Amino acid sequence: MTLDPLLFGEIDPPQRLLMGPGPVNAHPRVLRAMSADLLGQFDPEMTGYMNQVMALYRPIFGTANRWTMLIDGTARAAIEAALVSLVAPGETVLVVNFGRFGLLLTEILGRIGARIESVEAPWGETVPLDAIAAAIERTAPKVVATIHGDTSTTMAQPLDGLGDLCHAAGALLYVDATATLGGMDIAADRWGADIVTGGLQKCLGGPSGSAPMTISDAAAEHIFTRRHTEAGIRATGTVDGKGPRIGSNYFDLAMIMDYWSEKRLNHHTEATSMLYASRECARVALGEGLEARYARHAAAGRAVTAGLRAMGLTVFGDDRFRMTNVTGVYIPDGVDGERVRAAMRDHFEIEIGTAFGPLAGRIWRIGAMGYNAMKHKVLITLGALEACLRAEGFVLPAGAAVTAALEAWEA
C-alpha cells in the first residue's frame, strides 16, 4: 500500500499556552536559531559555537568549571550520564529523596548496580541539612545525589553548605537542577556541587532535547580514571584509566569531555540544531540578566500563589521551600480535576499540569517559567481557571484571583 504524502498534512499545532511543570513555550528567538543551516561537527564554526556554549553556561550554572557543556538528549540523559560516569557498580550513593525525581535517581542508580542509601522527606517538604549530614556519617557514600527543584512536589531543596559536608566525608555531590536552571539561583561553585545538570524546556525557555551540565575538576579527574577510549578512535599508545570502565558508551562522560576538549575526539554527532537552541537560550537568559530573570520568576510564583489563594484554593507544600516557577494546588472537593484541565485546554488553549504518584488526582501543578513567566500569561491562566472552576459549580469570589495576582506581581 502506498501512503499519500499529503495524508497527515504539514505540522501546524494549536497555539497552546503551556502553563504546566514543563515543557513550556519556547522563546521565538530559540525557535529561529534552530532553523539555521547545519554544519559539519568539526567545522571551525561549529567547534567555535561549542566553545561559546561552554562559556555561556558557566554563569548560568554559577561556576568557573572548565567542563561545562551539553549532553544530547533530554534532562534525564544528563542525569544518567552523570550517575553512570561517577558511580561504579557496588559503590554507595546517598540519595536525598523528597519526590518523584529523587526516586528517578534511585531507579537509575539501581540499574547501575550501586548500593543505594537514602535520606527522605515526605512529598511537600525538603530534607534538613543536619539529616543529610547524619546520613552521610551513617552511610559513608562515594556520591551524594539530590534534586534541586523537584517539579513533582514543587519544593526546592536548600543546597548551601551541602558540598562542604560531602567533601569533608570524601564524597562527590551531584545535583539535578533541570527544573530550576535559568529561573532560580543556581550556584554550583557556592554549593560545592561536583556535577549539576539541567534541561532547556523549563526556565530556559527552549525545547527539550539538550541537557546542559557542569562538572568540577575533582569529578572530571575521578571520571578520567575510568576512561576507556572506544576502539575505533584510539590513537596508538592510548593508555586507559585504571578505574572500572563506564557502563554506557553514549553517556560516557570521559569520552564526551574528550569530544568537547581541544582533542575533539569523535564520539556522537553533536545535535547541531539543539546546540543552536541551547546557545540561544543562554544568550536570552544572560541578555535579560540572571538576577532580573530570577526576580521575574519569583514575581510569577508569588502571583500564581496569591491568585490561587484568593480563589479559596489551598496551595500544596511548605511555603518556605517553594520553587518559584511551579506551584502545586489542591483540586477542591467535588471538582473533577481532569475535566477542569480539559476545559482549560478546549476553551482557553491553556495547559496546566496533572500530578504523579501519591499526588495524582489530588493536585494540579501550574508553571510560569522561561518565556511564560510573564504577567499577562499568569493573569490569563488564573482568569481561565476561575471560569473553569465556576463551570464545575465551585463557588469563589469573582475576579479576586486576577486582582490578588496583579498586586503580588508588583510586591
Ligand X SMILES: Cc1ncc(COP(=O)(O)O)c(C=O)c1O
**Residue that the C-alpha cell 567545522 belongs to:** 43
The residue among 76 and 222 lying less far from ligand X, judged by its C-beta, is 76
Q: How far is the CB of 80 from ligand X (least distance, A)?
A: 9
Distance CA 235, CA 327 (A): 52
The residue among 61 and 394 lying less far from ligand X, judged by its C-beta, is 61
Distance CA 354, CA 19 (A): 11
Q: Is 365 annotated as a binding residue?
A: yes
Among candidate residues 211, 241, 236, 209, the one with its CA nearest the CA of residue 224: 241
Q: How far is the CB of 199 from ligand X (least distance, A)?
A: 4
- DSSP for 348-374, written as a single string: H-EE-B---GGGTTTEEEEE--GGG--
Q: How far is the CB of 207 from ligand X (least distance, A)?
A: 10
Q: How far is the CB of 297 from ligand X (least distance, A)?
A: 15
The residue among 97 and 178 lying less far from ligand X, judged by its C-beta, is 178
* C-beta contacts of 45-52 below 8 A and 24+ residues apart: 46/270, 46/272, 47/264, 49/275, 49/276, 49/279, 50/260, 50/270, 50/275, 52/279
Cell numbers given for 336 = 473533577
- DSSP for 181-202, written as a single string: BTTB---HHHHT-SEEE--SSS
CA angle in degrees (0–180, nearest 5) for 314-319-322: 105
Q: Which residues contact 377 (CB under 8 A, 6 or more apart)?
A: 17, 19, 368
Q: How far is the CB of 210 from ligand X (least distance, A)?
A: 10
The residue among 72 and 386 lying less far from ligand X, judged by its C-beta, is 72
Q: How far is the CB of 344 from ligand X (least distance, A)?
A: 20
The residue among 41 and 278 lying less far from ligand X, judged by its C-beta, is 278
Cell numbers given for 188 = 554550583
Q: How far is the CB of 151 from ligand X (least distance, A)?
A: 4
The residue among 211 and 343 lying less far from ligand X, judged by its C-beta, is 211
Q: Are strands 350-351 and 17-18 parallel, antiparallel or unpaired?
A: parallel
In sequence order, what are the beta bridge partners of 322? 155
Residue 254 to residues 142, 146, 250, Cα–Cα distance (Å): 18, 22, 11
List residues near ligand X by CB under 6 A.
21-22, 74-76, 101, 147, 150-151, 176, 178-179, 199, 208
Distance CA 145, CA 122 (A): 17
The residue among 62 and 209 lying less far from ligand X, judged by its C-beta, is 209
Residues flagged as binding site: 365
Residues flagged as binding site for substrate: 365
